[in-house]
């Protein structure tokens, strides 16, 4: 028997019916034909937390492969990415989300709206904290939101690698004070420590249901978006300060031989930085991105990257729409 209050269980039975559309389910494909009901546990878990605590790294570790890009810059994740962990008797769909933030412009407004919408009609929340930082006001604000949702909350205290046991214990106590959690897992998404136990725990919270994605599919991202994200990841690695936040990538051609993409920034000086002396930076971005793109597409490609300044694109609703944000 799952440790879920009766009221929550009945709510779940209600939203589980596949013909009732809800944000996460509507974004997925219809239940896979051929899969009967009651054969497996399946459902949706939203991954919430402050920017940079390691949500995407953890989703990748739980899904068993890279579905979301990762960087040391906050606000790396801009759109929701489903990471799917498939097992013989479960399908755990993790919604990797942007970090909670106070919106500052139309881009960050859209990001926070994605977070808010993704907290509807889910089976559980995975609330992620970083053991390396003080668990403070920002975490408390997020905790208030997620503990009020009426679904089980599993806490992952991430980044425990190379931390002293005493410090980890103290941070576990700090995290535990934030609300009535289902379970609390100290983990390292980087080394994989504690990840199997966490996955097992999340699966136990899932109801019996259909497969929402074909077995073997690990994310809901289209190849175009995936390629754009991989390029953006490399651009984030090679830039700093305000530049990473001003970068966006659009793939224009995804051919058998050629992949063509544009890296947008907001100003000419940012463009100069991303291009680099004699094109050195954009070249590096390409060199780093190409092997991963080839692995994804399963064939060699010629990668053509252009850098363009598009003033104030973060405030341009039409542009944001075009970028799928
Ligand atoms: N030491 C350590 N670093 C980690 C761990 N998990 C993630 N990181 C690092 O933390 C940084 C942020 O990781 P992300 O996964 O991009 O964090 P996020 O929460 O998705 O960030 P946003 O998308 O910006 O909200 C990266 O530099 C990761 O390599 C961990 O378990 N241990
Ligand atoms: Mg992220």
pTM (2 d.p.): 0.90
Q: pLDDT tens digits for 151-172?
A: 999 999 999 999 999 999 999 9
What's the pLDDT score for residue 306?
Answer: 98
For residues 278 and 262, what is the distance between their CA atoms, to the nearest angstrom?
18
Q: Is 139 helix (H, G, I), strand (E, B) or coil?
A: helix
pLDDT of 29 over the 70 cut = no
pLDDT tier, 177 (very low <50, low <70, confident <90, very high otherwise) = very high
What's the pLDDT score for residue 114?
Answer: 96
What's the pLDDT score for residue 31?
Answer: 53
Q: pLDDT tens digits for 250-290?
A: 999 999 999 999 999 999 999 999 999 999 999 999 999 99
Percentage of the residues of the chain whose pLDDT score is greater than 90? 86
| Runs of H (alpha helix) within 162-222 | 165-176, 195-204
DSSP H/E element including 118: helix 106-118
Query: How far from each other are the two terminal CA atoms of the chain, in whole angstroms?
Result: 40
Distance 71 CA to ligand 1 centre (A): 7
Q: Is the CB of 51 under 6 A from ligand 1?
A: yes
What's the pLDDT score for residue 39?
Answer: 77
For residues 127 and 148, what is the distance between their CA atoms, to the nearest angstrom?
13
Of 176, 182, 5, 218, the residue nearest 92 (C-alpha): 218
Q: Is the CB of 112 under 6 A from ligand 1?
A: no
pLDDT of 26 over the 90 cut = no
For residues 135 and 133, what is the distance between their CA atoms, to the nearest angstrom?
6
Question: Which residue minimizes the CA distance to atom 32 of ligand 1?
Answer: 159
Q: What is the CA radius of gyration of the chain?
A: 20
pLDDT of 311 over the 70 cut = yes
For residues 208 and 239, what is the distance between their CA atoms, to the nearest angstrom?
45
Q: Note whether 269 and 104 are within 8 A (CB).
A: no
């Amino acid at each position: 028997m799952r440790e879920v209050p009766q009221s929550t269980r009945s709510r779940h039975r209600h939203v589980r019916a596949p013909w009732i559309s809800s944000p996460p389910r509507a974004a997925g494909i219809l239940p896979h034909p051929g899969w009967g009901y009651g054969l497996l546990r399946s459902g949706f878990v939203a991954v919430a937390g402050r920017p940079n605590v390691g949500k995407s790294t953890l989703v990748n570790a739980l899904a068993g492969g890279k579905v979301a890009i990762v960087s040391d810059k906050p606000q790396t994740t801009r759109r929701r990415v489903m990471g799917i962990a498939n097992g013989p008797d479960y399908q755990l769909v993790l919604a990797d989300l942007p970090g909670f933030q106070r919106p500052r412009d139309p881009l960050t407004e859209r990001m926070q709206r994605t977070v808010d919408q993704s907290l509807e009609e889910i089976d559980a929340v995975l609330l992620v904290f970083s053991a390396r930082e003080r668990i403070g006001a920002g975490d408390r604000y997020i905790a208030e939101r997620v503990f009020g949702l009426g679904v089980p909350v599993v806490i992952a205290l991430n980044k425990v690698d190379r931390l002293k046991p005493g410090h980890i214990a103290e941070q576990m106590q700090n995290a535990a004070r934030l609300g009535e959690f289902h379970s609390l897992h100290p983990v390292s998404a980087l080394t994989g420590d504690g990840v199997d136990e966490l996955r097992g725990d999340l699966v136990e919270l899932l109801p019996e249901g259909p497969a929402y994605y074909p077995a073997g599919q690990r994310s809901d991202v289209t190849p175009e978006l995936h390629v754009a994200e991989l390029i953006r990841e490399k651009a984030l690695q090679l830039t700093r300060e305000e530049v990473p936040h001003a970068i966006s990538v659009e793939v224009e051609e995804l051919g058998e031989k050629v992949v063509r993409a544009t890296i947008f920034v907001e100003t000419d000086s940012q463009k100069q930085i991303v291009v680099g002396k004699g094109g050195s930076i954009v070249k590096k971005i390409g060199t780093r991105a190409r092997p991963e793109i080839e692995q994804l597409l399963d064939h060699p490609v010629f990668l053509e990257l252009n850098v363009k300044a598009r003033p104030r694109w973060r405030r341009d609703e039409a542009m944001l729409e075009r970028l799928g944000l």
